[in-house]
Amino acid sequence: MEDLLVASPYGYVINEKLTDTVVLAIPEDNILDQNGAVYSILGYGALFFYKNKKGNEVKDEFLIATKFETKPSSVQKSTHYDGYMDFIYNKDAFFSYNDLPVNNISKNEMPVIKDSTNVELMFNKFNAGKFSEHIAYENQIYVILNNLNLNKHLEIPFLFYCIMIGESFIDDNGNKYRLKMRGKATPISLLQIAQTKDPFSAVTHQDAKTSLLVSMADDYKDKEPSDLEKYSMM
């Protein structure tokens, strides 16, 4: 299959062999800055929509989770999701944009704004429970690794990221999504995680009273005590 985006001296443009127009639906709070027709955006949580030459609409995840500059043909309120904006790219637009021409640009050298603060931007979203529900649960780890590869790797074991994702999604019954991997995976914030564990963890929440009520309402009779509970009962 041919690539949707192809390189040009000023960045990436859409591949006219595949489609005439591409829409990038992006969360409104991922628009970081605007300078005339050029936008600085955080790619995490965005999705592609386009019609192929057969007239069929194609939807795909956008897994480049870092900050980059883009020069769309137009921008409007999204027709796909609430709280999103549609960045529309025709043949005269630049999906990723360079102020100055770059010779021999390749797919592995997509012009992005490489900065360790981009890692902070992404993790701040995760701490607030703003994992994208439109990215498959199993792809969330690849999004994190993409951000780190494009910016700066942290001195943190890979297992930490897996645990963070596993703790940050619940299913329709309020249980950890990773346990059964069925139904909808709903993200929760770092502070909300305490409410889903046990009464001892709940006291660490900034709203301890509410968290204790929520956690104590669950049935813990058949659950293994947490490490904190075991330590407290020694």
0.85 surpassed by pTM: no
Last residue of one domain, picked from the residues 44, 78, 109: 109
Tens digits of per-residue pLDDT, 129-163?
Answer: 788 888 888 888 888 888 888 787 777 788 888 88
Residues 225 and 152 in one domain: yes
Q: Based on the fold, state whether residues 135 and 55 are members of the same structural domain.
A: no
CA dihedral of residues 29, 147, 185, 164 (deg, nearest 10): -110
Domain around 76: 5-109
Q: Is the dihedral of CA 95, 99, 103, 108 positive or negative?
A: negative
- Give me the sign of the Cα torsion angle 106, 14, 92, 16: positive
Contacts for 178 with CB less than 8 Å, ≥ 6 apart:
166, 169
Domain-terminating residue out of 83, 109, 135: 109
- Last residue of some domain: 109, 133, 160? 109
Lowest mean pLDDT among 13-27, 73-87, 103-117, 218-232: 218-232
Question: Do 93 and 126 sit in the same domain of this protein?
Answer: no
- 72 and 123 share a domain? no
Place of tokens 């204790």: 212
Q: What is the DSSP letter of 226?
A: P
Residues 80-123 have pLDDT tens digits of 999 999 999 998 888 877 665 554 444 445 566 677 888 888 88
- Give the Cα-Cα-Cα angle 205, 227, 145 (nearest 5 degrees): 70
